Amino acid sequence: MAKYKRIPSHIGIIPDGNRRWAVARGLDKRDGYFHGIGPAKKAFRDVWDAGIREVSVYIFTKENSHRPADQVQAFKQAFFDFLGWVRDQDVSLLVIGDTSSKQFPRELVPLTIPDSDRQRKRKLNFLVNYNFEWDIKAGLKPGNGGGNGGNVLARIGSRHVSRVDLLIRWGDRQRLSGFLPLQTAYADIYIVKDLWPDYRSSHLHDALKWYNAQDITLGG
């Protein structure tokens, strides 16, 4: 990985295109999820080698639960296979999503509480059964300080996630799809045309090179 003058502290990843990748190869849509596991492992190694300290990944949205049951089940199986690898890494893993929904895997509930040593570790945030409405409404619940002023970022569902510097989306879709709207308010957005299972290290390299050429003002 090349050296850069400025490395984003926190990047967001939208690993889109698994189903399109499978269909293009004559496979069932559900097969695409399993082919995204290997690229994900490689991508995280590349991210950590680059010195990026926090990563947030769109795993499963609340809307994704409306997909055919076989696809939902295949996705969950692929995710849990990948999660087994992640938990062997030296990272602070945090899962963010609507735990009140029946679509939220109960096995993940313990991972919704930040590690006590989170601040000294590399951080990996997984958005599972997430959407922006749930995230923001969490800060408006009675007794949670909603409507009383103060720092709204301290009350939302994703309150333990820092501001995103760079968001990278695979699959050539030029939209946020509700990804952490408050944390990405000033994020630079980089689109990769290739589908997620075709991930290459050069994708991250090109994104970081592009990021270094941006004028970061945060609106100032």
pLDDT computed for residue 218 by the predictor: 66
Instruction: Outline where the chain has alpha helix (H).
Output: 18-24, 31-34, 37-49, 69-86, 132-137, 201-212
Lowest mean pLDDT among 143-147, 174-178, 198-202: 143-147
Q: Does some domain include residue 104?
A: yes
CATH number at residue 79: 3.40.1180.10
pTM (two decimals): 0.91
The residue that leads in pLDDT, 170 or 66, is: 170
Give the tens place of pLDDT for each residue, 18-40.
999 999 999 999 999 999 999 99
The residue that leads in pLDDT, 35 or 2, is: 35
Nearest CA to 70 out of 16, 28, 118 is that of 28
Q: Does some domain include residue 125?
A: yes
Give the tens place of pLDDT for each residue, 125-170.
999 999 999 999 886 766 555 554 567 788 899 999 999 999 999 9
Averaged pLDDT score across all residues of the chain = 91
Three-state DSSP class for 79? helix
Q: Does some domain include residue 181?
A: yes
Residue 193 sits in which domain range? Answer: 10-133+160-212
Q: Does some domain include residue 140?
A: no
Q: Does some domain include residue 111?
A: yes
In angstroms, the Cα distances linking 25 to 20, 29, 31, 172, 176 are: 9, 10, 10, 18, 27
- Is the pLDDT at 72 greater than 90? The verdict is no
**How many independent structural domains does the chain possess?**
1
Q: Does some domain include residue 84?
A: yes
The mean pLDDT value for 85-114 works out to: 92
Q: Can you say how many angstroms the Cα of residue 14 is from the centroid of all Cα atoms in its chain?
A: 6
